[in-house]
Structure 1
Amino acid sequence: MPARPRFPGRLGAIALLCLLACSRAAFAEAAPLRLGIMPFNSTLALLKTHQPLIAHLERSLGRRVVVHSAADYFTHINQLLAGDYDLAITGPHFGAMAAERGMRLLFRYTAELRLLVVVRNDAAIERASDLRGRRLALPSRLSLASLGGVRWLAENGLQPGRDFRMIEYSSHGAAVAAVAAGEADAAITAHTPLRQVPEDILAQTRVLASNVSVPHVMTLAHERLGAAEIDRIRGALAAFPATAAGQAFFRDTAYRGYVEVSAADLAELRPFVALTVNMMR
């Protein structure tokens, strides 16, 4: 009688475990989390700023995180509402819109989004009325800073087209750079994006404050990830501010930390959501 092979069950089990492990690894490699970041700055600047957060999420979740940043705000919001992203870091008005289209609100930044006007150091501009007849650079007309800025100027008696000319740029950094280069007389921006503008450009400009502040940028997760995975992501984000990398991130960006998105935040954003919808039509 021929000898029977020894331990076929054990060998088969080992082979099956190896196959499952390889399949899981391949699946994880094939399906990273897609993180969409609103293009408020250049893609290179966004990657540099958010790299500590991305590294933290990958370590905490055991999944790769691939960053996607659209060429402009119109593309970003359309992709966000279409469900193209698993995770998103986006404007608060965009976040409020996406919450009605399958995205779960996780956190917003603790800091308020404060509107600023940037002018050249030698410009004879000190107040809103001095912007009459000027060229105003906007970081996309769909950015919350732009919407708030135009609203603020209207409250000061200035209407676009009639009292000033709007020039749209791809990002906050590009709008501020246009002022430094003399292509525009002033730029609408906010205090946190301004922290990410190169020092040589900032050195040529100065800032005028406004009285406009709104809830800050929001972080969301798509409901298709499932409740358990969303809870893991929420936990990873909540732990980030306590890490050394997180402390540096929130200090350098002036975002300060994370807070829950409240009903009051969403109510405050409703007028800006309505403006955004009208401008997208």
Structure 2
Amino acid sequence: MNSLSRRRLLFASAACGLLPFAGAVGAPALPPLKLGIMPFNSTLALIKTHQPLTQYLEASLGRRISVFTSTDYFTYINELLDGHFDLAIAGPHFGIMAKDRGMVILARYRADLQSVFVVRADSPIKHPDELRGKRLVLSSRMSMSSMGGVKWLQESGLELGRDYQLFERSTHGAAIAAVAVKEFDAAITTYTPLKQIPEDVRAAIRVLPVDIHAPHLMTLANTKLGAPMIERARQALRSFSSSVPGREFFAETGYQGYVDVTAADATALKPFVALTVEMMRQGR
């Protein structure tokens, strides 16, 4: 496929809210499984990061994997809840919501999802409570890290609109880069995107951690796959962790491996699920 045809394909798919960006070599007898990945990074970064995982799943499940992302978080959660994907990698609050809509949670990443504030390396800001009167940027108000950061600001007495201004960019990487080039004073993000941005951008910023932790991204399967395939997918994730490409994947991303989702995880996410539902009703 030439580059022009490729752009047309992406554009046509974007009209449906889905952007296919990866495929595998081979001609399987069964149709490809659709893996939907939350758009927390640029399309190219998502391709590069998840290629080892998709290749391993293809070999383990005996099915080609077609990978999709969505144009934004709001579109992604609606597509996830509508059953567009056979497999999905989603924010933990999205995962809990999808569990009630025909998806099975297979696992989550072992690492905690910790909201952090990012400033320029030469910024005079030393702590997040010094953000009063500043311009902040984030990837989406519906992302888990964004909600955690805004919650921290609220609990610290900073009110949106009165004490700081909030802006959005398409991805975590774009938000961080906007701080690096002095467009904004600080970004709300999490540690894992910091491992996936270019070295020059990483060198230009500094992290201000806060004590907000949540379960990390979840991997889910659609119940329409049937119990045997779902169990094969679950076992494939577990074996991926101990494989050579899996160890490299987790070392590069900082996700640390897979663990089961517990009742305590679901309880901790309840306030964020409620906030997400309210934002969706408002059309955010």
With normalisation by structure 1, the TM-score equals: 0.89
Aligned partners of 1:75 and 1:189: how far apart in 2? 20
- Residues 110 and 216 of structure 1 are in contact (CA less than 8 Å); yes or no, is this contact kept in structure 2? yes
Output the amino acid matched with 1:215.
P
Is the contact made by 2:28 and 2:64 (CA closer than 8 Å) also made in structure 1? no
Name the residue aligned to 1:164. Answer: 164
* Residue 35 (structure 1) aligns with: 35
Aligned counterpart, 2:273 = 273
Question: Structure 1 pair 26/176, CA: closer, same or farther in 2 (3 Å)?
Answer: closer
Aligned to 1:108: 108
Answer yes or no: is the 8 Å Cα contact 2:52–2:249 preserved in 1. yes
Q: Which residue of 1 aligns with 2:19?
A: none
- In structure 2, how many angstroms separate the alpha carbons of the residues matched to 1:26 and 1:53? 18
SS at match of 1:197: coil
Q: What amino acid is aligned across from residue 180 of structure 2 in structure 1? A: A
Task: Give distance in 2, aligned partners of 1:96 and 1:61.
Answer: 25
Structure 2 SS opposite 1:140: coil
* 1:247 aligned partner: 247
Counterpart amino acid of residue 278 in structure 1: E
Aligned-residue identity in percent: 58
2:72 aligns to what?
72
SS in 1 for 2:108: strand
- Equivalent residue for 2:222? 222
Paired residue type of 2:140: S
Q: Which residue of structure 1 aligns with residue 62 of structure 2?
A: 62
One-letter amino acid of the structure 1 residue matched with residue 233 of structure 2: I
Alignment of 1:58-137 (within 5 A): 58-137=58-137
Unaligned runs of 5+ residues in structure 2 are 1-26
Q: What letter matches 2:174 in structure 1? A: A
CA distance in 2, matches of 1:27, 1:85: 19
Aligned amino acid, residue 193 of structure 1: P
Shift of 1:26: 6.6
The residue number in structure 2 matching 1:262 is 262
Q: What is the match of residue 179 of structure 2?
A: 179
Q: Distance in 1 between matches of 2:127 and 2:279?
A: 27
Report the counterpart of residue 201 of structure 1 in structure 2.
201
Q: Using the TM superposition, give the Cα deviation of residue 181 of structure 1 relative to its aligned residue in structure 2, in angstroms.
A: 1.3
CA distance in 1, matches of 2:161, 2:184: 15
Classify 1:44/1:58 alpha carbon distance in 2 versus 1 (closer, same or farther; 3 Å). same
Residue 8 of structure 1 is matched in structure 2 by none
Once residues 178 and 99 of structure 1 are traced to their aligned partners in structure 2, the CA distance between those partners, rounded to angstroms, is 35
Equivalent pair of 1:115/1:210 in contact (CA under 8 Å): yes
Shift of 1:271: 0.3
CA shift, 1:107, in A, is 0.1
Length, aligned pairs only: 255
Match of 2:4 in 1: none
The secondary structure found in structure 2 opposite 1:115 is strand
Output one character per residue of 1:117-151: Cα deviation in whole Å (capped at 9) or x when no partner: 10001211111221111110011000000100000
Conservation of the 8 A alpha-carbon contact between 1:128 and 1:156: no
Instruction: Provide the rounded CA distance (Å) in 2 between the counterparts of 1:178 and 1:274.
Output: 30
TM value normalised by structure 2: 0.88
- Report the Cα offset of residue 27 of structure 1: 4.4
**CA displacement 1:48-99 (0-9 Å, x = unmatched):** 0000000000011111001101111011101000000000001000000000
Find the counterpart in structure 1 of residue 143 from structure 2: 143
Q: CA RMSD in A?
A: 0.9
Unaligned runs of 5+ in 1: 1-24
Contact 2:28 2:63 in 1 (8 A): no
Contact between 2:53 and 2:240, CA under 8 Å: does it hold in 1? yes
Measured after TM superposition, the shift of residue 115 of structure 1 is 1.2
